[in-house]
Structure 1
Amino acid sequence: MISSYPRTVRYVANFEKLGIPQASTWLTELELSELSFWKDSSRRSQWLAGRWIAKRLVARSSQVDILREVEILSRGADGLGKSPAVSVGGMASACRLSISHSNQAILVGIASSHARIGVDVASCVPETRSFRSHWFSDQEVKWIENDVSNRLPVAWALKESIFKACGDGSKWDPRSVELVSIDKNQVRSRIHGLDVDPLTTWVRATNQGAATAVWSNTSGQEVSLCS
């Protein structure tokens, strides 16, 4: 369903500036049911902002004018979160979608079916030595400790981005993802000890951490930013 580009990464630093309409005007009944899962008002606002951006990206790529024609569901029958499943006009879409939010920041990535994509916004990551030794390998710690304040949130966000893009659907465990090397625009990694094909990266520093995106198949990339 991706018509003119294989991937887009959209970052919004402060979703409160978006002016999102009333949820019932653009969410489907099943999406409203997922919204009801969130009782905390700030989490509801974050969820709504992520869905608003994601649905607009899907609608744009699918040449759909009505947002309620796009449905994004990310909670299973057991109530647990899962990778977003997208449908357009009642038909399942093969596009890949990843959504992350933290405080006022929202990051959304969309890719065609043949490409992997994962995004994450990390903020207020603990800088204690015990945290690093528990969740990171010795090699990762060595890289982080050259510049803890800047590299720690990047490494944490990259781990989750890679897991979202290449994971097998198992429960998120930061230790299952190992960062082998991080270059300017590429990361090499392993998941559960198995090598992952190199992924293109996008990294942006935020007020309280970092926002990262990873994707496969680097031809024809589009990166769209807004604040």
Structure 2
Amino acid sequence: MISTSARIVRYVANFEKLSIPHAPIWLTERELSELSYWKDSSRRDHWLAGRWIAKRLVARSSRTEMLREVEILSRGADGLGKAPSVLVRGHASDCRLSISHSQRAILVGLSGSDARIGVDVASDVPQTSGFRSRWFSDHEAKWIDADVPGRLPIVWALKESIFKACGNGSKWDPRAVEVVAMEADRVHGRVHGIDTEPLSMWVRATSHGAATAVWTERATQEVSLCS
């Protein structure tokens, strides 16, 4: 069981300096198989850092000290990526997990089973008018146009976060999700034309983009950012 004390943790550090153990020590055979999909050494390092942070969050909430007892799988039988599933000591865990990594940052979100959570890191998002017209609704584009460098990565990251939280396993399509309205710490979204419930929101601007997390307001959640 995930612990029930509500919290949000914002952990900021240089992920290249994390003391990550040698992979076979803390990864299961199936996790090592998923790691083998990444051929580029930089992408492998990012994947490992994201998994290490995620497994530590799950292990602490599940009261286990062995990271190998936590298994996180995010590829289906067809080899395509999917929402992470979590097992603890071989049994399905009652938690939800969201992981995002770019070349410069890693973000991990964890919540209880009765809640939804989604996180995303957006960096070096194209700022051309053509890109904005293809990937954003007219409503989103109008808001972005007031401050393209500052707002564009935030909206992009929020779209991905909302989709991860409320997309119900459907294939990612940026035009299928819309940021409808934002308040100080809440965002309203729409996925496949259906309004989502109001989601709590955390946004952090970065030097090359933005990191965002959204979760249902009843959630017990934990968010770790490493950049």
Aligned partners of 1:11 and 1:104: how far apart in 2?
Answer: 15
Q: Secondary structure at the match of 1:197?
A: coil
- Displacement, 1:6? 4.5
Contact 1:7 1:109 in 2 (8 A): no
Q: Secondary structure at the match of 2:197?
A: strand
Contact 1:69 1:89 in 2 (8 A): yes
Give the residue type in structure 2 aligned to 1:143. W
- Displacement, 1:120? 0.2
Alignment of 1:126-141 (within 5 A): 126-141=126-141
Report what 1:188 is aligned to. Answer: 188
1:197 aligns with 2:197: yes
1:9–1:157 Cα change, 3 Å: farther
Alignment of 1:85-104 (within 5 A): 85-104=85-104
Give deviations 1:175-221, integer Å, cap 9, x for gaps: 10011101121110110110100101000011110000000025666
Q: Secondary structure at the match of 2:24?
A: helix
Please tell me the root mean square deviation across aligned C-alpha atoms, in Å.
1.7
Q: Secondary structure at the match of 1:57?
A: helix
Aligned partners of 2:41 and 2:170: how far apart in 1?
Answer: 28
Aligned partners of 1:180 and 1:75: how far apart in 2?
Answer: 31
Give deviations 1:58-107, integer Å, cap 9, x for gaps: 00000000000000000011000001000001111010000000113110
Give the residue type in structure 1 aligned to 2:16. E
Q: Secondary structure at the match of 1:127?
A: coil
Aligned partners of 1:174 and 1:208: how far apart in 2?
Answer: 20
Aligned partners of 2:153 and 2:139: how far apart in 1?
Answer: 16
Report what 2:18 is aligned to. Answer: 18
Report what 2:157 is aligned to. Answer: 157
Report what 1:37 is aligned to. Answer: 37
Report what 2:56 is aligned to. Answer: 56
Contact 2:108 2:225 in 1 (8 A): no
Aligned partners of 1:83 and 1:223: how far apart in 2?
Answer: 17
Aligned partners of 1:196 and 1:63: how far apart in 2?
Answer: 33
Aligned partners of 1:211 and 1:11: how far apart in 2?
Answer: 13
TM-score (structure 1 length as normaliser): 0.95
- Displacement, 1:171? 1.1
TM-score (structure 2 length as normaliser): 0.95
Give the residue type in structure 2 aligned to 1:15. F
1:4–1:182 Cα change, 3 Å: same
Give the residue type in structure 1 aligned to 2:80. L
Contact 1:9 1:109 in 2 (8 A): no
- Displacement, 1:169? 1.1
Q: Secondary structure at the match of 1:115?
A: coil
- Displacement, 1:4? 3.7
Give the residue type in structure 1 aligned to 2:68. R
Give the residue type in structure 2 aligned to 1:154. I
Q: Which moved more, 1:100-109 or 1:9-18?
A: 9-18
Contact 1:12 1:226 in 2 (8 A): yes
- Identity between Structure 1 and Structure 2 (%): 71
Structure 1 gaps, min length 5: none
Aligned partners of 1:187 and 1:75: how far apart in 2?
Answer: 29
Structure 2 gaps, min length 5: none
1:51–1:198 Cα change, 3 Å: same
Contact 2:53 2:108 in 1 (8 A): yes
1:223–1:51 Cα change, 3 Å: closer
Report the number of matched residues: 227
Aligned partners of 1:59 and 1:222: how far apart in 2?
Answer: 13
Give the residue type in structure 1 aligned to 2:43. R
- Displacement, 1:19? 1.9
